[in-house]
Structure 1
Amino acid sequence: MKKISLVTGANGHLGNNLVRELLKRDEKVRASVRDLNDKKPFEGLDCEVVYADLMDKESLIRALDGVDTLYQVAAVFKHWAKDTEKDIIVPNILGTENIMEAAKEAKVRKIIYVSSVAALSLNKVNSKGKIDETTWLKDSHGNAYFDSKARSEKRAWELAKKYDLDMVSVLPGAMIGGEFLKKTPTMLGFDSILSGKMKINYVTEMTPIDVIDVIEGMIVAAEKGVRGTRYILANEEPVTSDDIIKIAKKFVPDLEIPQKYAKEQLLLLAEKLELEAKQNNTQPLILRSQVELYYGGINRYYDITTSKKDLNFNPKLGKEALEEYFKRVYANLG
């Protein structure tokens, strides 16, 4: 009998592309979602779709029944909420606790826990001048998403040790591409540049990576990943804002270049927009935390030696991945 792999958050960008790749490899896949009426992501896919909610531990225990490998993908992925503690931080930490406890009860063989490069230090470099997997985020500059990813991954490691679970974590960069394009904040940001909707340039560097490269790293980690190891699944070097504009202009030659402002100007603007957003309960166009992070607050040069050695991780370059993504988005701009 084939071993079962459970993918949580299977109707999201990473989760759904992972389901598709596992099925291509003739694996038996159980896909968990919170809304069973959301059937479109699974059209034509020969997988079992079940209900599970990270806030409902009993549903997780049922979903994990008979599962060999857990790909813990589901998480809150947004940078702003009217109540960030309630809507971003607590769900990611509590959801992690629930899934780890459920995995222990279900006696899951292997856990692939999806974290993010956001959980790494912003500036603690090694002898190569790069950020490696031994580092942790210390100061999120007020970004609730970054904070939640670091705290929830730390909690996962605490519980993995407590319950003697065979777990590895993977820390992807800014994922784009794949067969299934459910738009994430990352992709929406890139889309806004290509469509000319981004008028203010507050991005200095980004780490685009093809989601299929991330998925291949995850699947190898399920079989060859060394227990207790964190794996950075990102490119070694970032793509600069100038690079992003240059690539976008290949498709839109007359693209209006977003204007650059001084950090102090952007912080004042972000403060105003965030205040308005709280009053109107709408997503602000720019956050103070983003300004702090992007304006020299983060080192995006990563040391992926461990991922290369253990997982044979060799992703396509960020510029290449971004150009492929822009080509696809441009074809649909109409």
Structure 2
Amino acid sequence: MSEEISLVTGGNGHLGNNLIRLLLSHKQKVRTTVRDSKNREPFKALACEVVQADITDRESLKKAFQGVINLYAVAANFSMWAKNPKEEIYDTNMQGTQNVFDIAKECGIKNIVYVSSVASLDFTKLPANVNNGYNKDRRNWYYNSKNDSDKLALELGKKYDIRTVLVLPAAMIGPKAFKLSYSNNLVLQVLNGEIPIDTNITLNWVDVKDVALGAYNAMKKGRNLERYILANEKHTTLQETVKIASDLYPELKLKTPKKVPKCLLYAVAGLMEFSSKITGKEPLLQRHYLDMFYNLKQDYDIRKSREELDFNPKPSKKALESALNYLKTDWKKENRI
């Protein structure tokens, strides 16, 4: 086993936990951070060191980063909605990025793979490409946070002379999932027949294990201060997603979601937003999502990742079938549902 310590922040999250498992399979010495150190279930039978740390708490990061050579900066607020999104999402992700790089410099960390998102890409020209610049749409605080923290990571990596490689995943699905991500939750909703309406918003499904391998290869051979898209090339519509699930499990008798006019979706979204102000729960649909994503084909140019990281993801259909199988069987067993 290598004596170099590789640290994964947010190891109880979807990507973080899969990345830990991959690093261990490659005989890496692994440390991971979690906000609640009592939450040990995601690390059952994993030979990794688990320490308490929060990206917003600089002192906790100092303790966690001691002796670390390679850092996978995975932890972030991945929420798409909050009561106070500027503070809870944007400020957390920006300050967290600043803290991670400041403390990494202080502790002598040599290499950082920073997990950004396709949310930081410019979608005005498709397929989206890292060379097209950044997302100019500023209507969503989560997207703003990924856009601006991506830039900040590159600035700080250069300033502190830390080799920094950015990876930009799309909608990650599949095992292991101790807490359902937005993407896995949507797949579960499909499986449960809870998608009656087609919102005309497309997805780009990618297997989380392929993303973990992409991040690992980014650490091994990604170029300093470069960005790499970890996605599939073509999008999948909601109707196509439901059809794949229906073909896989015909006994579920899943119904194809119906297309409805955008104006009706707008009205429904407005009602949901109003209700969320009363209940404090995230609305299933929001008007600015429709403005940003209605009829947008989430296609990506991944040639750079293929050529430089040997990134060769399984096709979206295969990734979706794998996620459906996992959520229908293993996930329910793992979470005693």
Question: What is the DSSP-based 3-state SS (H/G/I as helix, E as strand, rest coil) of the residue aligned with 1:154?
Answer: helix
> Where does residue 22 of structure 2 map in the other structure?
21
**C-alpha distance in structure 2 between counterparts of 1:87 and 1:200, whole Å:** 30
Q: Is the 8 A contact 2:230 2:305 kept in 1?
A: yes
Once the 2 structures are TM-superposed, how far is the Cα of residue 35 of structure 1 from its aligned partner?
0.3
Once the 2 structures are TM-superposed, how far is the Cα of residue 262 of structure 1 from its aligned partner?
1.3
Residues 41 and 272 (structure 1), Cα distance of their counterparts in 2 relative to 1, 3 Å cut: same
Once the 2 structures are TM-superposed, how far is the Cα of residue 177 of structure 1 from its aligned partner?
1.1
> Where does residue 235 of structure 1 map in the other structure?
232
Runs of 5+ in structure 1 lacking a partner?
none
Q: Is the 8 A contact 1:175 1:209 kept in 2?
A: yes
Q: How does 1:53-132 map to 2 (within 5 A)?
A: 53-125=54-126, 130-132=127-129
* Identity over aligned pairs, percent: 41
> Where does residue 263 of structure 1 map in the other structure?
262
Once the 2 structures are TM-superposed, how far is the Cα of residue 269 of structure 1 from its aligned partner?
1.4
Once the 2 structures are TM-superposed, how far is the Cα of residue 28 of structure 1 from its aligned partner?
0.2
**C-alpha distance in structure 2 between counterparts of 1:240 and 1:118, whole Å:** 18
**C-alpha distance in structure 2 between counterparts of 1:88 and 1:110, whole Å:** 26
**C-alpha distance in structure 2 between counterparts of 1:289 and 1:246, whole Å:** 27
> Where does residue 206 of structure 1 map in the other structure?
203
Q: TM-score, normalised on structure 1?
A: 0.94
CA RMSD of aligned residues (A): 1.6
Q: Is the 8 A contact 1:85 1:144 kept in 2?
A: yes
Runs of 5+ in structure 2 lacking a partner?
none
Once the 2 structures are TM-superposed, how far is the Cα of residue 266 of structure 1 from its aligned partner?
1.1
Q: Is the 8 A contact 2:204 2:234 kept in 1?
A: yes
> Where does residue 310 of structure 2 map in the other structure?
312
**C-alpha distance in structure 2 between counterparts of 1:328 and 1:226, whole Å:** 34
> Where does residue 288 of structure 2 map in the other structure?
289
> Where does residue 183 of structure 1 map in the other structure?
180
Q: How does 1:38-49 map to 2 (within 5 A)?
A: 38-49=39-50
Q: 2:145 aligns with which of 129, 145, 148?
A: 148
Question: What is the DSSP-based 3-state SS (H/G/I as helix, E as strand, rest coil) of the residue aligned with 2:105?
Answer: helix
Q: TM-score, normalised on structure 2?
A: 0.93
> Where does residue 224 of structure 1 map in the other structure?
221
Q: Is the 8 A contact 1:73 1:114 kept in 2?
A: yes
Once the 2 structures are TM-superposed, how far is the Cα of residue 181 of structure 1 from its aligned partner?
4.5
Q: Is the 8 A contact 1:3 1:28 kept in 2?
A: yes
Counterpart of 1:138, as a letter, is: K
Counterpart of 1:323, as a letter, is: E
Deviations 1:9-53 (A, max 9, x none): 001110011111111111000010010010101111111001110
Q: Is the 8 A contact 2:53 2:64 kept in 1?
A: yes
Q: Is the 8 A contact 1:78 1:145 kept in 2?
A: yes
**C-alpha distance in structure 2 between counterparts of 1:19 and 1:311, whole Å:** 19
Q: Is the 8 A contact 1:6 1:71 kept in 2?
A: yes
Counterpart of 1:256, as a letter, is: K
Once the 2 structures are TM-superposed, how far is the Cα of residue 203 of structure 1 from its aligned partner?
4.2
Residues 272 and 329 (structure 1), Cα distance of their counterparts in 2 relative to 1, 3 Å cut: same
**C-alpha distance in structure 2 between counterparts of 1:29 and 1:38, whole Å:** 17
Counterpart of 1:6, as a letter, is: L
Once the 2 structures are TM-superposed, how far is the Cα of residue 96 of structure 1 from its aligned partner?
0.6
